[in-house]
Structure 1
Amino acid sequence: MIHSGREGEPEGKATRGLHPRHRVDDYLRRGWWTAQTLDQTFRDQVAARGDATALVDPANRRALVGSDPRRVSWNELESEVTHLAARLLEHGIGRGDVIGVQLPNSIELVEVYLAAWSIGAIVSPLAMQYREHEVVTMANKANFAVMITTTEFGDRSPAADVLAARDRMPALRSVLTIGAAEEAADAGGSHIVPAPATERDRARIESRRAADPNEPNDCVTICWTSGTEGEPKGVRRTHFDWIAFSVATIDAPRVTVADILLNPFPMINMAAICGMLLPWLLTGATLVQHHPFDAATFFGQIATERVTYTIAPPALLWMLLHNDELLSKIDLSSLTRIGSGSAPLQPAMVRGWQERFGLGVINFFGSNEGVALLSSPEDFPDPDDRARYFPRYGASGVTWSSRFAGRVDVKLVDVETGVEITEAGRPGELRIAGPNVFPGYVDGENLTSPFDDEGYLKTGDIFEIAGDRNQFLRYVDRGKDLIIRGGMNIAPAELEGIIAEHPAVAEVAVVGDPDEVLGERVAAVVVLRPGAELALAELVSFLRERKIASFKLPERLEVRDLLPRNAVGKLLKRELRTRPTLTQ
């Protein structure tokens, strides 16, 4: 049985030994887990790659944070990581301490991950769009010991925002900023400038490592996921399961040391950490950072850096395919494959990229908790099949190319009866088990368990069996109300709770409207109190005063006399969504 937390220890408190002993022993015996840790992997790559280029900053870094972009070799990166790790120790950060990190994709963001892991600290990354509401919530749930952020991001100061709310985060001991010397500002915190390690720094870190080495079952990250329970949930992960998870994202695109990877997704959750950071770390490839998404900068980086592999949202790939004027101005000749996901792929889009450019689009379906279904050109040479289907791991008589296929168990379960589904065409909830599955949530003992009685992760996503040999899974629908806007997850329950506080609102339902570019946009459907009036601009202003992230703000407001419900009073959100407008 899969469960969370070290046996006999309260869930949410342990930072070592998150997976139970019997699971560790089983997966070590099978060879699915090893004694490998992420910090040792980094040191191994430094020894192997030396002066080869490791990391490249976003080309538009100066516009983001006020300093010029850099590029560093593996040796230079290791020296700066050691310097940073020593500074963290000076600020009292040690094993098991949680570091809240709000930084754009950059060299420094990767350095924070590596430096924290080298001293046994835990990284909890936050989206740059998050404001006081989200930062305070997550800091208090995970007990951030320190916050590392930037003095400048576009037209605002994330460091100043954190300092202004510091009295609402009682566990927070310090606020640090990191970046070039010219980024330092008097925001009341301490600024760290990346620099080569001194001999004293190196001796201190090596002594620390020898005296208190990491274990692969240690917690290394707490990422955040939104769900129907309203507030975000902290997803804990160890060296064990992150490394096992990345097998899928290395094998499907066949990432090698020769690749140049371009990461356009915020490095805060599965898509960028497992899709880009870990494949880079485990193969020794070159990683080019990009943030926030800007088409001109993105395509310029592909051409200038000779990028071989990247990931992109489906809407961007669909738009490009129908924009000959833009395509004529960009150079994609270095690309050999593209990953996409977070929304169902259109067969015409996947087929178009293969036929026009000879590029195979890899279909990704994943989650922070451990879902990883990947359809590669090797397993799905027909682009239409690759867009529609995912591998049904364990299907009789079928062999898949990825090592991941033999390590993961999947099943579909009837959501009403709980009976496992084995026939084609009958929708059921996807459940998954294996070495990639997370050990549990922060404060998990106070949350509904994400695992069933057999230890499978209950994903909440609805699939059905398909294919002439029942070898495929076809995505049917999202079993949860989660809204995904531009790759960012939004929990309707959280927004509904805040909107319900507006004096004009009697009832509210938040849903996602389909959108060609962003995937979905937020819509609020309300029933007003007698005699009350409410306009969208007024509602948005009310929410801004609550200091929530701007990507959560509704873009449609609909006023109704009643919200639709079934015979037992359950809200029928499907009747509130606008119809899809995507071109087929």
Structure 2
Amino acid sequence: MARHPELVDRYRRTGARRPETLANLWQRVADAHPEREAVVAPDGRMTYAELAVASDRIAVGLRESGLLPGERVLVQSGNSVATAMAWYGMLKAGLVPVCTLPAHRHHEIEAVGRRAGAAAHLVQEQPRFDVHGFAAEMSAAVPSLRVTLTLGAGAGAAGIRIEDLAAAGDPHTARAGVTEVQAGLDPDGIAVLQLSGGTTGTPKLIPRRHHEYWYNAERYAAVLGWDAHVRVAHLMPIVHNAGIVCGLHAPHSVGGTAVLLPPDPDVVLPAVAAERVTDLIAGTPMAALARSLVGQGRHLERIVIAGSKPPEGMFELFESAGVWVGQLYGMAEGFFTVTPLDAPRAVRRWSVGVPISESDEAAILGPGTETEVPDGEVGEMCVRGPYTVTGYFDARPGDEAAETTAHNARAFTSEGYYRTGDLGMVRIEDGHRCYSIEGRIKDVIDRGGEKISVDELEALLAGHPRIAEVAVVAMPDPRLGERGCAFVVPRAGEILALPDVQEYLAGRGVAKFKWPERVELVDALPRTAVGKIDKNAMRAAVAGLVEAQAAGR
């Protein structure tokens, strides 16, 4: 953004960038709504007053552990009240959460930890996985890590228990300590590091700054007409950009309630009814639950479909129950579009709406160019605005960070527009100008909203001693939208099956959601007339196989 100071001035004049920290902006809401429920999850519930005191205490405890404002914390925790306490405690301590996933393993966490220069690692108990052994393994692998924080750990476990910090100390003393820390922070500084859905290997780090990150959430809540009475259910990982912005900060920006649930129908369906949920985001994986949600969601007022175009019948099913249905397009890098409440049905059904801020700007450019294409034609969605990033973060020394520096140089146009890699189009529906997403330039698999880098997966599989050549493509899936399929040319005399491939990736410490879920053995990868690997042919082939199997042929 340094190349475009006039934009910064414009955003400040419009109030999109205020001289306040994220934690102070949240605290103002908590002070205004002390007795309202702030967060509900399977592990309990808290009012704003209770969450404010607990997070103040956590912040002081984190400082006393030796962590300093500005240091980064790897966060691996799920949808829980404990996560919300830890989140606001870290922000109040001036620490920078690095938003990884509970499913990430050695391959991802070591690389992200090194890129972030992380000082601490927060882990939450997981079934059938030793998080304490994993945290010790990461401490040995990432030189900057020196503190382990835990959620849900038993007494005597290694590390600092967040629950112990939340229960200790005088509330007035803790509040004074937080006030002192916040006074020393720069509202233009980095508050959170999110992960990109990168296509070239390790996710890149996206710096989200104090004022703009809260503004992002405020605008999302405003477009949907939220107030303090909303009860917003979030089923996807909360420590993820959509989770933090839409599931936590947005309801909290208006004094509403965040209902954090795991993606388990046995938990979700009764909770939607019992917790009087008014709003939720429905991704493609929820299509199978749509009918049950309609039956249970007696208080549902709004559902926003995100991640991909609505599966056939999903939109109509919710609508038939009298629930307002819209669509969302967004990214960890910032820019959001949402279909407005008063938008005609055609806008809500066939588009992802319009930008949530009047200061947002979108341009549909010819891919790889800076030439805008006419309305109705497909091009690359390029965006800029008060809460859209202007570059990726990398704490490593210059030579090691060269990849990030090079990416920053090509990821933005000369006018500061971020190249999303998504194919979009301006369309006119019932006289309204709006946007639709028509695919992607980037080679990724969208598995239930989690983006899997095909380049990364192919590079990993190329190291398998029994694989001569490999290509990975997306195959259609009715529940998750897409899953990965690996076309494999085995080395001479070798035979591989899916378990062999998955076992190899497990041994490399690769997150399970990235593993291919189908393997097709071939004598040679299909190629185009000019000798390039023909992924279109492979996508068509596996789609045909999936369709035939579904039909029982």
Q: CA deviation at 1:481?
A: 1.1
| Structure 2 residue 440 is the aligned partner of structure 1 residue 474 | no
Q: 2:101 aligns with which of 105, 127, 136?
A: 127
Which residue in 1 is equivalent to 2:251? 280
CA distance in 1, matches of 2:106, 2:30: 38
Structure 2, unaligned runs of 5 or more: 395-403
CA separation in 2, counterparts of 1:452 and 1:390? Answer: 23
Aligned mate of 1:295, from 265, 268, 272: 265
Per the TM alignment, residue 98 of structure 1 is displaced from its structure 2 partner at its CA by: 0.2
- Aligned CA-pair RMSD: 2.3
What is the TM-score normalised by the length of structure 1?
Answer: 0.86
Partner of 1:312: 282
CA distance in 2, matches of 1:545, 1:187: 26
Is 2:494 the counterpart of 1:520? no
Shift of 1:459: 0.7
What's the secondary structure of 1:407's corresponding residue? Answer: coil
* Residue equivalent to 2:407: 447
AA aligned opposite 2:136: L
Deviation of 1:188 (Å): 2.8
The alpha-carbon distance between structure 1 residues 385 and 52, as it changes in their structure 2 partners (threshold 3 A), is closer
Deviations 1:373-409 (A, max 9, x none): 2123421x31x5423213356xxxxxxxx5x2x2111
Structure 1 position 253 matched with structure 2 position 224? yes
Q: State the alpha-carbon separation in 1 of the partners of residues 167 and 414 from structure 2.
A: 51
**1:548 equivalent in structure 2:** 510
2:401 is aligned to none
Q: Deviations over 1:203-258 (max 9, x none)?
A: 43333344x2x222110111112322122111111013212322442133222111
Matches within 5 A, 1:171-570: 171-179=144-152, 183-193=153-163, 194-195=166-167, 197-198=169-170, 199-210=172-183, 212=184, 214-291=185-262, 293-317=263-287, 319-321=288-290, 326=292, 330-346=295-311, 348-355=313-320, 357-379=321-343, 381-382=344-345, 384-391=346-353, 404=357, 406-415=358-367, 418-424=370-376, 426-443=377-394, 444-449=404-409, 450-467=411-428, 471-570=433-532
Alignment correspondent of 1:24 = 8
Please say if residues 237 and 439 of structure 1, whose CA atoms lie closer than 8 Å, have aligned partners that are also in contact.
Answer: no
1:346 touches 1:387 (CA, 8 Å); kept in 2?
A: no
**Alignment-mate amino acid for residue 222 of structure 1:** L
What's the offset of the Cα at 1:567? Answer: 4.6
* Shift in Å, 1:333: 0.8
Gaps in structure 1 of 5+ consecutive residues = 8-19, 59-68, 394-401
1:475–1:192 CA distance, 2 compared to 1 (3 A): closer
SS state at 2:313 partner: helix
TM, length-normalised to structure 2: 0.90
Please state if 1:48 is matched with 2:9: no
Rounded to whole Å, the distance in 1 between the matches of 2:254 and 2:392 is 29
Q: Deviations over 1:294-347 (max 9, x none)?
A: 012111111111111111223423x245x5xx469x421111111121111146
Shift of 1:46: 2.1
What residue in structure 1 maps to residue 399 of structure 2? none
Q: For 2:162 and 2:46, how far apart are their aligned partners in 1?
A: 17
Pairwise CA distance, 1:569: 4.2
- Candidates 17, 35, 43, aligned match of 2:19: 35
Partner Cα separation in structure 2 for residue 451 and residue 463 of structure 1: 17
